[in-house]
Amino acid sequence: MSTITSPVPITAHSRQDVQSKADVDVASRPTRDAHHLAPELNPPRLSDVARARHALSMHQEATHTLRQEATWSRDHARSSDPATVIAHSVGALEGQYQVQINSLAQGQTSVSAPIADGTANLALNTVHIQVGTWRSNPSSFTSNPIWPRSSIVVGPGDTSLQSVRDKINAAAVGVLATVITDGTGSRLVLSSRQTGAANGFQVSTDGTDDPLQLQHQFAQDASGTVNGRPVHSASNTIENAAAGLSLQFQQLTRQPVSVSVGPDSQGIQRALADFSQSFNELRQRDPELSSALARVAPERQQELALWGLSWSGQALMQVDAQRLSAALQEGDLSQLADHMSGLLGHLDADTSAVTDWSRPGIDSPWLAQYLSLENSGT
């Protein structure tokens, strides 16, 4: 029997010797190699950089909001019940408006009697459609001259409900035709393409009989009152319900809805709170901003304090919501706008310097990739 022997004896200590040699090799590498590996082993943490950039972005947005004229406008419209009335103001007079909604605008809908077979031919030769207004609930019809009378001719083989529907739609007569089918059969449904009483329609057919036997829900205007004054519209948008005030009717009212026009108190409070929070975030990241607030003139500090804006001993801004709300009701809004404009101008140079430490000293492609992963929560 032959025996295979190793020229180098393998002992329990030989593996340790090999490992020790590897350790020595690594330890003996030049220092520059360790520095070369450092970025791979310990990549820079950019969460602080990302948060700093976010804080700066939020502060810039809050500052921009406070500089907008719309923020301090006195013609902001607010509805006490937006589900019923939506209000918009463009230069409306400041004040209160009581809105009552009596009817909503709708188009006419006419539905035929059910027909067992929607593909069967009807006893039709011509269908006449005239757009106009029904009067006296409704006993008379007045045609709309914008839409002349249209006659849809149907012939043998194309008098099914589907064919009549297609011919009416192709004629573009201000009426939309559809066919619905349920357990009772098929019906032809005709609907006004626009809402409002003037966009109703009259349907007739040749012959003495009416094979369609249409049932109608007639068109109507939106109507109501604003401070007791009647208003109406062919759509549910009431333009110039009062000078500069537009209303969107949503549903009928059980009791009047109050619409107020004046300063957007909630929006101003929110804008100041956002500004205070974003500044405090920057302040905690850069203590130098403390000195910026400390340099604000005492008289300006007193002026702002009257509106509920102040800062603590740690130079953190605070907004007294109760005092601010009362001041917005009683004070001159233009004064607060001027005070804030002065404060923003005072802080501009200091807060803009934040960009120096929020800009990372690292390759931008690597940073962009990191921020993308961080924002996605990866």
Same domain? 333 vs 282: yes
Q: What is the pLDDT of residues 19-52, one digit of tens each?
A: 444 444 444 444 434 344 334 444 445 566 677 7
In order of 34, 55, 323, 355, 378, the CA distances from 369 in angstroms are 25, 19, 46, 20, 11
Same domain? 63 vs 122: no
Query: Over the chain, what is the mean pLDDT?
Result: 79
Same domain? 236 vs 307: no
CB 107 within 8 A of CB 192: yes
Domain tally for the chain?
A: 3
Same domain? 212 vs 301: no
Higher-confidence residue of 91 and 207: namely 91
The C-alpha atoms of residue 327 and residue 19 are separated, in whole angstroms, by: 77
Domain range for residue 239?
76-105+221-259
Half-sphere exposure of 103 (CA within 13 A, CB side): 18
Same domain? 121 vs 208: yes
Same domain? 138 vs 175: yes
CB 178 within 8 A of CB 108: no
Same domain? 311 vs 349: yes
Final residue of a domain: which of 154, 186, 217?
A: 217
Same domain? 357 vs 274: yes
Smallest CA-to-CA distance from 234 within 250, 246, 223 is with 223
Same domain? 135 vs 184: yes
The residue-averaged pLDDT of 280-287 equals: 78
Final residue of a domain: which of 259, 286, 310?
A: 259
What tokens does 155 get?
């012939």
Q: What is the pLDDT of residues 147-179, one digit of tens each?
A: 778 888 887 778 888 888 999 999 888 899 999
Highest mean pLDDT pick, 79-83, 142-146, 160-164: 79-83
Residue 300 lies in a domain: yes
Residue 10 lies in a domain: no
Residue 27 lies in a domain: no
| Verdict on whether the full-model pTM lies above 0.85 | no
pLDDT at 316: 77
The C-alpha atoms of residue 88 and residue 264 are separated, in whole angstroms, by: 12
pLDDT at 302: 87
Residue 314 lies in a domain: yes
